[in-house]
Every structure is written in C-alpha cells, then in structure tokens.
Chain A
C-alpha cells in the first residue's frame, strides 16, 4: 500500500503522543489557565452534610489509598480535613494498609505544617494534660483556657486542633474490613491506643463517640474497591452515612450507590477534589483553592489533547479511505 499523509498520520509513532502529553502536563504549571470549576451535586451533598455538623458530632477520614493514587486522593482528604478542622468537628483518622498510614501522616503533616499558610496548629495530647486534669475538655472552654494562659495563635494559622479533642490518629490495622466491623461495637476494642501510643479510652472525643454508631459520617478516600468495606460493613450494618473520594477511573463504579441512597456523595478524581476546594473557598474557609484546582489545568490540557488525537485519528481514517479497505497499515511503533 502506498504511503500518504493519512497513512502516516494513522501510524503516528506513539513517542510523539507521549511527548505531547508530557509537554501539556508541564506547561500549565507555568502558564495556568485558572478556568472556573463548577461544583456538582455529588460533591455539594458531601460538603453540605459536613457543613451541618459541629463539635458535638464526629467523622472518620479514612486514608484507604497508597502513593500511586496520592495526586488524586490526597487533595480530597486534605480538603475534607480542612473543612472538619475549621468547624471543630472531631475527626478519627484511619488507614486500610501500611502504605496508607504513610499517606495519613503525609496529609496530616500538610494541613498542620507551621510553615504553610492557613495551617492548623496542633496541640498534642501531652501539651493540654493539665486542662484535662482540671476537667476542661469541652471544645470552646478548652480553647478559651488555652488562650487565657498566653498561647497565641500564629498569624498564618487558621485555628487550633487539640489531639484527643479535635482529632485522633488511629492509623492502620491489619484486616481493616474486620476492624470496621469491630468498630461498629467499640472503637477502643479495635484501637486501644492511637498511632502515637496515647490511650484512646481517655480521649474526650472517644468518650463521646464510643462506636461507629455514635459517628455521623465516614469519608473514605481510595484508589481501590476497599472503599466498599465502609458500605458493606458500616453502612449496611448500622446505617452509618458514608461518602467516597475515589479516583476518576473508578468513579463510575460507585454512582449506583449514590442513586440507591447508600452514599451521601462522591468526589471523583482530581475534579471532585477541585470542586470541594472551590466550595471551601466560596464558604470562606480558605482564601484560595489548593493543589487539585491547580492540577485541573493539567487535566484540561491533557483532555483537550486526547480529544484532538481522537479527532485526528478519525479524520485520517476516513479521509484516507481506510474504512473501505478494512485493514489498517502494519508496522506501528
């Protein structure tokens, strides 16, 4: 068969495609488009649900992903963490795998990094021991007593977070599905201590929320089907409301659970995380959106390029008359 422009286009060396993708993934970091991200109903429902919670409630943020899906899952977890910390909602942090525990540490460090803007200043379990001994464990009275003793919130901080009052890092347990089942009866039976070795049973947030039955929402961020454990073992057994943050490729797998009412909502891929960041900004919790919003520029460019390649392939296919010949040229690289 004689080579022409169409056949050459159809047999385009894949390394050119790789090069183009590489370029469009890098350029937006230097020349951001900043296109608006409009939140969708699936994400708004999670935001609204958390917006109606307060210090008397509690949620779980489960880091159920490994480093492979960190760019997609981490911004979601970080956004929900910021939202919960801003509203003083007690948060239990868990992880479904040893590598996921590293993600938990990494995400928590990102939100509580004193060098960053709008970070949350951590007050460790030991640092506020004297207040516990005085019986001061309520969220507002604890902050008032803490600040009355001369502790000043740094200028770049958004607020205090007290370990054991505002958050507990439970971490990873083997056979995590069983741990979820066990927590439907008692959280402390599964986690006698937190990741730092602090006794969970003494923590005010655990005394007020002894099992998953006393928890108001579980959010799971996952790149695998592990997120389904929360639906199977917690939602279906005790009716715990569950929200998902999943990768874009698996997002369509779980929309059936939104339709059936088993999920509060779902963040799908980087787009879902960016939507949540925009909602946080609109509600005044942060000054500007975070990493997911920036990453959307890359997705915009990459999706447009893929669209262009699909178009190019089809133009060459029809213009070259290959739809008549039935056989494509050989020798692709």
Chain B
C-alpha cells in the first residue's frame, strides 16, 4: 500500500499533466489551474518538514556542542527571529518588512554584501586558476588556452583596442563551435530527462520512493 498509492498518484498525475498540455479546452485548463493551486499547498507542507528537519539537525549540534556548533546557532537564530520581526512585531520596535526594520536591515546590510562578496571572490580564484591551468602543455591544452584568451579579451573594450579581430573571432567561437557543442549536449540531456521522467511516471524508476513499503 505504501508503494502502490504513491505510484498510482504519480502515474495518474503525470499522464494527466502530459495530456492536458496538448488539449486547448476549458476542462483541461481547469485541471491545470487546480494543479497550480495544489502545488504550492503541498510545497507549504514540505516547508514545514524542511524547517523541522533543519531545526532538529542544528538543535542537536548546539545541544551537544558539536564541532563548529556556533555556525548552527547562526542558522537557527535568523531563521526564527527574522520572520518574527518581519511578520509579527510592529514597526515601532523594528518590525515589518520595510526600512528601517530589522528584516530589511538584515537583508540589505548583511545578506546582500555577504552574497556579493562570495561571488566577487570568483575574480581572485579565476585569476589564480588561469595562471596555473592555462599552459600550452599539449595541442588540446593550447587550443583551450587560445580560445580562453580570445573570448576573454573579446569581451572587453581593451581587447578591441589591442586587436579589432578579438571580439569578431571571440563571437565566432561562441556562435559556432560553442553552440554546436552546447546543442549536442542539450539534446542529450533533454532526451535523458524525458526518458527518466517517463520511467518515473510509469513506475519503472522507483528510487524516489526511498525505502517506503519495503
């Protein structure tokens, strides 16, 4: 029962949604509209499960003073405190979602700079990696090196200044060799996704059930 019911739901739901996509009729549209309402509702339950699981995991680490337990505290405190400030407390004590509330401050002055900093570190690592990796050790490595340099220099005005052919050749590399490879990979991935999803819908692939019913 634990396996049959979920498999039946997936089979009926999956086949229905495939058929629905190709039928431009009001009944078909109503089915789709209902589906779009159901999904966020189901998702809301998954959210409760996720928050519960995260709290249990990190709560356990904090209680047992596990290695790096302060990081767990850094997860739990904002997770519970920010919704309280955003949704429950009045603006007079820093509540609400608008400035100068705590929620807005945490977003604009903590989260935004942290994420921007993390992403900008890429520039430093790319420079270091380029210095180490782009060596003309073999024919293929030389091709990679030349392609990288041409595309990179073609992306910036100073490249155009050094040689007007940089952007032209760079664009040609992107538009032809790159696109050909991307399209081939995309088609392969697409067929793979289609096959996997059909296997899931028809119950051939059952790993997503975990150990239920065994």
Contact = CB atoms under 8 A, between A and B. Distances in A.
A131 interface: no
Interface of A: 12, 14, 17-18, 20-22, 25, 33, 35-38, 40, 66-71, 99, 102, 106, 174-175, 178-179, 181-182, 185, 189-190, 248-249, 251-253, 255-256, 259, 268-269, 271, 296, 299-307, 309-310, 312-314, 317-318, 323, 332
A68 B118 CA distance: 7
Nearest to A71: B116
A249 B151 CA distance: 11
B124 interface: yes
Contacts of B158: 33, 35, 300-301, 303-304
Q: Which label, helix, strand, loop or mixed, suits the secondary structure of the B interface? A: helix
Contacts of A313: 131-132, 134-135
Contacts of B157: 35-38, 296, 300
Interface in B140-183: 145, 148-149, 152-153, 155-161, 167, 171, 174-175, 178-179, 182-183
B119 interface: yes
Contacts of B107: 99, 102
Contact of A306 (B33, B112, B122, B152): B152
Contacts of A253: 182
A175 B39 CA distance: 8
B207 interface: no
Given A17-B127, A102-B107, A313-B135, 15 more contacts: A18-B124, A36-B157, A67-B111, A67-B115, A70-B115, A185-B33, A189-B33, A255-B178, A306-B130, A310-B131, A313-B134, A314-B136, A317-B137, A318-B136, A323-B137
A252 B153 contact: no
A20 B124 CA distance: 9
Interface of B: 29, 32-33, 36, 39-40, 43, 107-108, 111-116, 118-120, 122-124, 126-128, 130-132, 134-137, 145, 148-149, 152-153, 155-161, 167, 171, 174-175, 178-179, 182-183, 186
Nearest to A179: B36
Q: Which label, helix, strand, loop or mixed, suits the secondary structure of the A interface? A: helix
A62 B145 CA distance: 36
Contacts of A182: 32-33, 36
A309 B116 contact: no
A140 to B, nearest CB: 33
Among the interface residues A33, A268, A313, A332, which one has the most CB atoms of the partner chain B within 10 A? A313
Nearest to A195: B97
Contacts of A12: 131
Contact of A302 (B123, B136, B145, B178): B123
B76 to A, nearest CB: 19
A302 to B, nearest CB: 6
B123 A25 contact: yes
A203 B40 CA distance: 26
B130 A310 contact: yes
Contact of A178 (B36, B113, B156, B183): B36
A309 B83 CA distance: 47
A295 B185 CA distance: 33
